[in-house]
Amino acid sequence: QKEVEQNSGPLSVPEGAIASLNCTYSDRGSQSFFWYRQYSGKSPELIMSIYSNGDKEDGRFTAQLNKASQYVSLLIRDSQPSDSATYLCAVTRDSNYQLIWGAGTKLIIKP
Amino acid sequence: GAVVSQHPSRVICKSGTSVKIECRSLDFQATTMFWYRQFPKQSLMLMATSNEGSKATYEQGVEKDKFLINHASLTLSTLTVTSAHPEDSSFYICSALPGQRTDTQYFGPGTRLTVL
């Protein structure tokens, strides 16, 4: 079992709809949770970080964390074609701040 | 804030030569920097953790004599790929931690290395 699991996709969503991306992790000691977006040929850029159970909203993005179920999700409202990218889920679990990465979900927003 | 630069963005070299990649934190001090490698259609693979003023910690399977990391200041870390071969061709990305009070890594734009 991988430490951080994501559905590789592609996930196809119509423009204007809500895109829902999911991630599960195996280590209950995981402390911090991140969503990064990566366009093809580019490096990852941070979208959201979340540390406690519940929802965290930032513009069109909402991160949700459920530590009991060991999953973290990212919702993108009013999806735009520019949101088409690979979304990477990452967690940290110890004091050296190393990120444990999921394989990423490819999201395609169809005009 | 929290901008990280890398230089060069692209490099093409001949097999057997060495290539140095620089990673700089532009508006913050980074006691810790990370070096990643990413092959096409794969996720990021952590190569090493670099702490200012000390030796880098390499991940299992990463040859420390081949991938030399120097973190001589709080704003600069370098990765030197020594005696590069075509199988070293990859996308190399650094990230930096802006200090003690955050665990959020900020990424550089990456360096595309092609070894002929």
Residue ranges, chain B, pLDDT below 70: 1, 100-101
Q: Whose CA is closest to A6, among A90, A94, A97, A99?
A: A90
Torsions phi, psi for B6 (to 5 deg): -135, 145
Q: How far is A96 from chain B (nearest CA, A)?
A: 9
Please tell me whether residue B72 adopts helix, strand or coil conformation.
strand
- The sign of the dihedral angle between the CA atoms of A77, A80, A82, A88 is positive
| Residue A1 pLDDT exceeds 90 | no
| Residue A93 pLDDT exceeds 90 | no
Q: Which run of H or of E encompasses B92?
A: strand B90-97
Q: Whose CA is closest to A37, among A60, A69, A3, A14?
A: A60
* Partner-chain contact B34 A98, CB within 8 Å: yes
* Partner-chain contact B107 A45, CB within 8 Å: yes
Q: Is A35 on the interface with B (CB under 8 A)?
A: no
For position B98, what pLDDT does the model report? 83
A44 CB neighbours in chain B (<8 A) are 44, 93, 107
- Is residue A82 very low, low, confident or very high in pLDDT (cuts 50, 70, 90)? very high
Number of helices (H), then strands (E), belonging to chain A: the values are 0, 11
